[in-house]
Amino acid sequence: MRFLPHRHPFILVDRIIEMEMDKEIVGLKNVTINEPFFQGHFPGEPLMPGVLILEAMAQVGGILIITSLPEERKGSLLYFTGLDKVRFRKKVVPGDQLLMRITLMRKRAQAVKMFGTAIVDGEKVAEAEMMAFIGEKV
């Protein structure tokens, strides 16, 4: 929470497991039945929405980028600007541990490109290329 502006109920990262600055990060989201989105998605067959899987991946990627910024830019907001090559491969349901591995592909002064993979029980559930703009310090 030190690195993301998100707060409950929209923070979708429970823990960072490992990180190599300017290179790669691995984060974890414990998916529980108490998540507010499960009330309507879908009653009787709870399923984590794909856009929230992508958001969780983006938040993990955001931590990688924000922590890698020089001291004078710490506190800047990161705005996601695009997604490419998005694929959803399996369902994510309550009780799953969503492991997200994000790799930095390219970093410029104001823009970044990352590749993210989401995994449950060793199986890939989603993947995407993510682009973001590094905004002003807040």
- Non-local (6+) Cβ contacts of 134 within 8 A are 65, 69, 73, 76, 78, 109, 110, 111, 112
Q: Which member of 6, 41, 90, 107 is catalytic?
A: 41
Is 41 among the catalytic positions? yes
Token pair in block for residue 33? 């039945």
Give every CB contact of residue 12 below 8 A, 6+ residues apart in sequence.
Answer: 6, 29, 52, 55, 56, 59
CB-neighbour burial class of residue 120 (10 A; exposed 0-12, middle 13-18, buried 19+): buried
Residues with catalytic annotation? 41
